């Protein structure tokens, strides 16, 4: 089964995602390292599924063990400098970037899928929150982390 059929059957259809566009190389192979076009609503569905440890609408979509492995840093993979981010406090694991924030004196862990141009799915398990960013910041060095710190976390009581 090729990757677009597999992902449609086991991930996108169960999540109710019916419009996906994968970047294809000249030889027809799909670029699975990124370049997947989704709507912001569909990005949110992926984030909420991860927030719920792989469950969407009461149904297991992603194995719990995979969610746990992919959303936690492992030894010797911290810190990594993420593209466009200047925090230098990132870990990386199975396509998710992992960072911590301090909010009201407590450490808040976050993991995110990061796309080119500022596309991002941020999952904050402790806050029961998913934040989705879309944009066209292809040449900018603006930090999504600044927006999270200065606006999103400050709005949480």
Question: Average pLDDT over the chain, rounded to whole?
Answer: 84
Q: Under 8 Å CB-to-CB from 103, ≥6 apart: which residues?
A: 153, 156
User: What is the tally of structural domains in the chain?
Assistant: 2
- Name the nearest CA neighbour of 129 among 105, 99, 109: 109
Locate 44 and state its tokens. Answer: 């949110």
Task: Identify which has the larger pLDDT, 138 or 98.
Answer: 98
Return d(Cα 78, Cα 73) in angstroms, integer: 7
- Of 87-91, 99-103, 125-129, minimum mean pLDDT range: 87-91
Locate 23 and state its tokens. Answer: 């970047």
Q: Provide the pLDDT for residue 86.
A: 47
Q: Which domain holds residue 6?
A: 1-37
Give per-residue pLDDT as tens, 21-80. 888 899 988 888 777 889 999 999 999 999 999 999 999 999 999 999 888 876 665 555
- 6 and 58 both lie in a single domain: no
- Name the nearest CA neighbour of 153 among 107, 119, 117, 111: 107
**pTM confidence score:** 0.84
- 16 and 67 both lie in a single domain: no
Q: Provide the pLDDT for residue 59.
A: 97
């Amino acid at each position: 089964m090729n990757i677009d059929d597999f992902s449609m059957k086991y991930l996108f259809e169960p999540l109710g995602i019916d419009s996906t566009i994968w970047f294809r190389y000249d030889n027809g192979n799909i670029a699975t390292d990124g370049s997947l076009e989704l709507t912001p609503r569909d990005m949110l569905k992926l984030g909420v599924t991860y927030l719920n440890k792989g469950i969407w609408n009461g149904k297991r979509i992603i194995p719990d063990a995979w969610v746990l492995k992919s959303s936690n840093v492992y030894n010797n993979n911290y810190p990594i400098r993420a593209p466009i981010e200047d925090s230098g406090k990132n870990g990386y694991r199975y396509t998710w970037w992992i960072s911590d924030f301090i909010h009201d004196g407590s450490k808040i862990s976050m993991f995110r899928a990061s796309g080119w141009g500022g596309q991002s799915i941020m999952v904050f398990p402790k806050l029961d929150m998913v934040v989705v960013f879309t944009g066209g910041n292809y040449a900018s060095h603006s930090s999504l982390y600044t927006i999270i710190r200065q606006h999103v976390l400050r709005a949480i009581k």
